[in-house]
Structure 1
Amino acid sequence: MTSTSDAGRGTNTGDGEDLVADLAAAEERVEAAEEAVADFGEAELERLAAAHEDFSGLLDRYEEPATGDGDFQQFIEFQEKIADFVDRLDEDLLLYEVFEECDEYLQQRRLTEGDFAHVREQLDPVADLAARLEERDAAREAYRSARTRIRTRRRELADRVADLERLRDLGEADLDAPTERLRDPVEAYNEQVREAFERFRREEPARDVLDTLADLAAIPLVPYEAPPDDLHAYVRDHEAGEEPVGQLLEYADYSRSKLAHYVADPDALKRAVATRRTYLRGVDPGPLTVDWPPPEAGVLRYRCDELTGAVDRVAPDAVAALRAVRRLPRETDYERLRRAAVARAELSPAERERVRSGAVEAELERAREQRTRLGEALETYPSR
C-alpha cells in the first residue's frame, strides 16, 4: 500500500482522458488498417508480400556481383533467376505486371547500381501494398498497448482511491482520544519481554537458546528464523554449547591458537560459529513484542494467543502483561483509541489540514470518476 504521506500528493486528472483518447484513436487505426487489408484480401496480400520479399532478396544478393565489372557468370545467373522467378509467379498475383516489367528491365547486357535502384523504385507500389499487413499488425499491437496502459492506470487509481479513503478516515479520527490507555499496557509488556529475552540470551546456554528458537520458529505469528542446521548441531554436540551466545561470539573472534585454550576443537567452532555471526547477533526480542500503534482487535487477540506460549518459554514474568494487552479490545473503546493512535503516528499536520479543508475528499472523488471512466473505456473498446 502507498504510504499515507504518498496519498497526500496530487492526482493527474488529465492523463485518464488522454489514455481514453489514445485508445479511441488506436481503434480507428485498427479499423482503417483492417479495411485496407480487406480491400484486397489477407491471403492475396500475404502472397504478394512473400513474392516481394523473395524478389528483393535476389536484388540484394546479386547487386554487387552483377553490376559494373563483376563476375559475368554471376550476372547471367542473376538474370536467369529473375526470369525463372517471374515465370513461376501466378499471373493473377496482385501487381503481377510490376514484376514482369522489372524482369524485362533487368534483362540488359549490362547493369549498374542505378538500374537496381530504378527496379526498387518500380517495386514501391508492391511494397506499399504488402505493407498493409504490417500496418494492420502494428495497429493491433498499438491497440493492445493502449488497453494495457489503461488497465495499468486503472489499477493505480484503485490503489490511489484506497489510500485516499484511508487518509480521509484517519483524518477524521479523534486525536484527543486517550491513547495512553492502549499505549501504557503495550509499552509495559514490550519493556518486560525485551528485558527478559535479553537476560535469557545473555545468561542461558547457547544450546538452550537455539533449541528454544527452533521451537519458536514454528509458531506462525512469532517470526523467528530457525537456527542454521550446522550451528544448531554444533551447540548440541559440543561442550562449548554450554556457553552463552555472547561467549560463543567472543570465541569466534579469537585466533585458532588462542581458541585452543578454551575449546577442544577450534576448527569446529570456527566453521559453525564464525560463519553464523550475523544470525547470532540478529537474535533479539523483536518478534515477541507488540507493534505500536497496535493492530486491529482480531489480529491483536490472535497474536497474543500465539505469543503466550513463546513468552512463557523465555520471559514467563511477562505473560501477565501480555494478557493485559490481550484484554484491551474488551476493556477499552479499542477501535476508536487505535484509530487515534494510528492517525497521530502517520498523519502530518499538512495532511490533517488537507482532510479538514476537503481537499482529500475532492481528490478522492476525481480519482473515483477517473477510475470509472477508464473501466467504461475498457468495456467500450474490448480486447481484439
Structure 2
Amino acid sequence: MSAGPDYADRLRDAHQRLLDARDAVAEHGEERLQTVRDAYREATDLLDRYDGKATGTGDFEAFVRFQEAFVELVEDLPDDLPAREAFEEANEILDQRRLGEDDFERARETLTPAREYIDLLSERDRAEDGYETAKREARQRRRELDDRIEHLRRLQRLGEADLDAPVENLRDPIDDYNETVREAWQTFRRSAGARDVFRVVEASQAYPLAAFPSPPPDIREYVETYPAGEEPIPTLLDYADYSTSKLDHYVDDPGALRTRVGTHRTYLERLDADPLTVSWPPPSAEHLRHRAGELVSVVARFAEDEAVAAARRLRRLPQTVDYERLRETALARDELDTDERERLARGDVADDLTAAREERERIDAALDEYA
C-alpha cells in the first residue's frame, strides 16, 4: 500500500496544537483577550474613519471628536489589560495640536502588541477547526480502511479457490434456467394481453426476490379499464406509432392510448425477464434457495412446465453440487485479474492487509486518546 498521510499523527498534532492554543488563551484570560480585541477594533475603526478628516488643516470638529473618542476609549480600559501600554502610547502620539497621516500610521504600528494578543484567540479558533478536521478525516480514513481490509481479505479468500474446479456443474443449470425463462417470458409477453401480463407483474410484488418493476399507475389504469388492454404489449407499442386517423380503426380512444402508452414506452419496452434471471457468478447458496422458491411461484403464473421445472432445479442446486466451492471458483475466475493473481502469489496482498490493519489500529488508538 502506497504511503500517504498519517492520520493518527495528524490527529495527535492537531490535539496538541489545540491544547497549546487553549493554554495560551487561559494564561491571559479569554475575557481579557476579548476586551483587547474589542478595544483594538474600536481603535482601528477610529483611525480609519478619521484618517484624512482630522489631519492637517482638515475638519477641526472632526479632529476634536476623534481625539476625545480615542482618549475615552483608552481611559475606559482596565488597568491590568494586556497591551494597555500600546493603547496609551498610541493615545500619546495622537495627543497633538495637529495630526498628519504619519501620526495615524505610527499609532497603528504602536497597536501591534494588541494585535499579537488578539492572534491568540484566532489561533485557538484555527486550532479548534484543525482539530475537528483531523478527527473527521481520521474517522473517514478508518471507514476507508475497513473497506480496504474487507476487500483484501476477499482477495485472499478468492486466491485460495480451486481454479480448476468444474464450475460447469453450477453454470449449466443456471444458464439453462435463464434461457428457458427468457424464452417463456418472451412468448407470454408477445401472445398474452397486456392486462394479463400486468396481473403477473402485480402478483410478483408478493415475492420481493422475484418481483418485476411495478407499472406506473396511469398505464396500469389504462390497461385494466380500456378494451385495448386485452392486446399484447408489442401491439400496443405499434399502435402508439400509428397516426391518429389510422389508430381510430383499432381503438376506441386514440388519444388515451397515445398519451398513456406513448408516455410509458420505456417501461413497456424494458419489461423483460431480467428480474427472473440468476446472475453469474451466482449468489450464495442460502440466497439462491430463497430466491428460487419465489421464482417458482412467479414463473408458474405464466410459463409452461419446462420453465417451472428449471426453477425447481435451481432451488435444489445447492444440495446437488458442491455449491460454495464451485461458487468461490466462479468468483475467483470472474474477479481476479492477472495482476491480482500475481500480487497474491508474491504476498503483496498479505503485506497490504497487514499494513492496513496496523494503520487502522494506530487510528483507533489516536481516536481513543485524542477524540
- Contact 2:201–2:211 at 8 Å: present in 1 too? no
2:360 counterpart residue number = 371
Matches within 5 A, 1:112-191: 112-191=100-179
SS in 2 for 1:66: coil
Q: State the distance in 1 between where 2:300 and 2:204 align.
A: 11
Q: Which moved more, 1:369-378 or 1:234-243?
A: 369-378
Which digits, 9 at most, give the CA deviation of each residue in 1:125-162, with x for residues without a partner? Answer: 00101211111121122122223222222221111111
Distance change >3 Å, CA 78–CA 288, structure 1 → 2: same
Q: Which residue of 1 aligns with 2:287?
A: 299
Alignment length (residue pairs): 370
Amino acid of the structure 1 residue aligned with 2:15: E
2: distance between equivalents of 1:247 and 1:65?
Answer: 88
Any unmatched runs of 5+ in structure 1? 1-10
Paired letter, 1:347: L
CA 1:311–1:137: 2 relative to 1, 3 Å? same
Output the amino acid matched with 2:332: A
Query: Pick from 192, 200, 217: which aligns with 1:212?
Result: 200
Query: What's the offset of the Cα at 1:323?
Result: 0.9
Change (3 A) 1:71 1:260: farther
Distance 2:254 2:61 in 1: 83
CA distance in 2, matches of 1:61, 1:228: 68
Q: Does the residue aligned with 1:156 lie in a helix, a strand or coil?
A: helix
Report the counterpart of residue 52 of structure 1 in structure 2.
40
Percent of pairs identical after alignment?
Answer: 49
Higher relative contact order (CA 8 A, sep 6+): 1
C-alpha contact 2:40 2:115 (8 A) present in aligned 1: yes
Cα deviation per residue 1:294-324 (whole Å; 9 max; x = unaligned)? 1111111111122221111122421111111
Q: 1:3 maps to which residue?
A: none
Check if 1:332 corresponds to 2:321.
Answer: yes
Of 22, 27, 36 in structure 2, the residue corresponding to residue 39 of structure 1 is 27
Residue 344 of structure 2 is aligned with which of 340, 355, 359? 355
Rounded to whole Å, the distance in 2 between the matches of 1:47 and 1:221 is: 67
Whether 1:258 aligns to 2:258 is no
Alpha-carbon shift at residue 353 of structure 1 (Å) = 2.5
Which digits, 9 at most, give the CA deviation of each residue in 1:258-314, with x for residues without a partner?
Answer: 322222211111221111111111111000011111111111111112222111112
Report deviation, 1:71: 4.2
Taking the aligned partners of 1:349 and 1:259, their CA distance within structure 2 comes to: 58
Give the residue type in structure 2 aligned to 1:242.
E
- More off after superposition, 110-119 vs 162-171: 110-119
| Bigger Cα displacement from structure 2, 243-252 vs 89-98 | 89-98
Structure 2, unaligned runs of 5 or more: none
The normalised TM-score by structure 2 is 0.93
**1:81 Cα offset (Å):** 2.2
